[in-house]
Structure 1
């Protein structure tokens, strides 16, 4: 299922107001960890799957990447990306991630931020990314953590006063569709276990370089009190892999 909530007017209006939409990479609580995982991008060809507003695409060019291709299903996201981008070496393509078909060994680096939990088959994505990466190419991505996606509710348990009591994990081994709420109702996500993420990469031929469960930066913890709760359970999972 290729759900495109980002072109829904109400959803997109809410998304535009999120800190990561307004402030860019610095407004994303996990950016400092993803940034540290990125290789040297100088003179590299980069593919960004689920590029959204194009923040990572523009960052790659700031780091002297030779060319960048951003792929996204949403026309509204790409329209915003094009408005914010003035660089002939960045190309935006409207396409579902599932339908990518680039040339063999076309890219040095493939990145993706918080997109693959909307994709039904991570295994298929691994195989496609492996094919379009050059030898020693790097694949780095972030997703919502399996502990976060296991339950469709994707929310805390609260006491009678509205205080956050705990984060429950249930139906963890039951992979598949989760119909949840994110900005609006009826958002389709796909839950898969940590072992599935890792094994799909290994079976495609990748070598795992790093696995990270990021927490907010010290600055964000100081300036945004509610971020302290992000130390109680992992919200994101990041993996860096290499094509031998």
Structure 2
């Protein structure tokens, strides 16, 4: 079966397996993407935050514990949203069981909009970026990460298993839907080039102030072998933009 958006996380076994993988210190989320996102965000003290595809909201909890004024998370999976609600219980935050595509974006509401490894599930990024621009206050910041387009261009090399030792880059300029074998299921993602992300942001009215491709740093890894493997190809693409 093919799963779109966050629907795969409503499968109990998939959800459980994901959380185990996500908690690994040397996972790309923790060893590569996390440090970059915090660096791009900078000071978030007393900021109102909207998080698109918030998952279990552990990120939201960290933001609130470290000075964010208010946190709103959007999550389309019932199972993931329930976990997120528990995660920030008693804190100044809220979780909406809603996708980032269907959410009604208020005007000039947020100081910071974030999204971590979620926008590659979205087909129409131009509409999404327009909505984010609408929802940000003047000089507000939009910081997000996606799976690097070099890895979403083709999932042919994953047929041998989730842990890739070689990467096939193919059909790079053929954008659109891709089917990724992942944890014994198939999830739908949308491939687009770095240039297309850049152009969509500019058309939405953003000023792009930084771009990162997730160069690994040894201090974030507990395993030197995994660090060296991650030096071979970028797995993260992150943008920092200002309204």
Does TM-score exceed 0.5, indicating one fold?
A: yes
Superposed counterparts of 1:111-130, under 5 Å: 111-130=114-133
User: In structure 2, what is the equivalent of residue 191 of structure 1?
Assistant: 191
Superposed counterparts of 1:144-155, under 5 Å: 144-153=147-156, 155=158
Question: Cα distance, 1:210 vs. partner?
Answer: 0.3
Alpha-carbon separation, structure 2, partners of 1:224 and 1:75 = 37
Distance change in 2, residues 1:34/1:116 (3 Å): same
User: In structure 2, what is the equivalent of residue 228 of structure 1?
Assistant: 228
User: In structure 1, what is the equivalent of residue 177 of structure 2?
Assistant: 177
Q: Secondary structure at the residue paired with 2:101?
A: helix
User: In structure 1, what is the equivalent of residue 112 of structure 2?
Assistant: 109
Q: Secondary structure at the residue paired with 1:189?
A: strand
Alpha-carbon separation, structure 1, partners of 2:164 and 2:72 = 44
Alpha-carbon separation, structure 2, partners of 1:101 and 1:25 = 31
Superposed counterparts of 1:89-104, under 5 Å: 89-104=92-107
Higher alpha-carbon deviation: 113-122 or 177-186: 177-186
Give TM-score, length-normalised by structure 2.
Answer: 0.90
Gaps of 5+ in 1: none
Between 1 and 2, higher relative CO (CA 8 Å, sep ≥ 6) is seen in 2
Alpha-carbon separation, structure 2, partners of 1:120 and 1:183 = 22
Question: CA contact under 8 A between 1:15 and 1:21: conserved in structure 2?
Answer: no
Question: Cα distance, 1:180 vs. partner?
Answer: 1.2
Structure 1 residue 237 corresponds to structure 2 residue 237? yes
Superposed counterparts of 1:53-92, under 5 Å: 53-92=56-95
Distance change in 2, residues 1:75/1:86 (3 Å): same
Question: CA contact under 8 A between 2:6 and 2:76: conserved in structure 1?
Answer: no
Question: Cα distance, 1:40 vs. partner?
Answer: 1.4
Give TM-score, length-normalised by structure 1.
Answer: 0.89
Distance change in 2, residues 1:87/1:26 (3 Å): farther
Alpha-carbon separation, structure 1, partners of 2:78 and 2:22 = 21
Gaps of 5+ in 2: none
Question: CA contact under 8 A between 2:10 and 2:77: conserved in structure 1?
Answer: yes
Question: Cα distance, 1:222 vs. partner?
Answer: 4.5
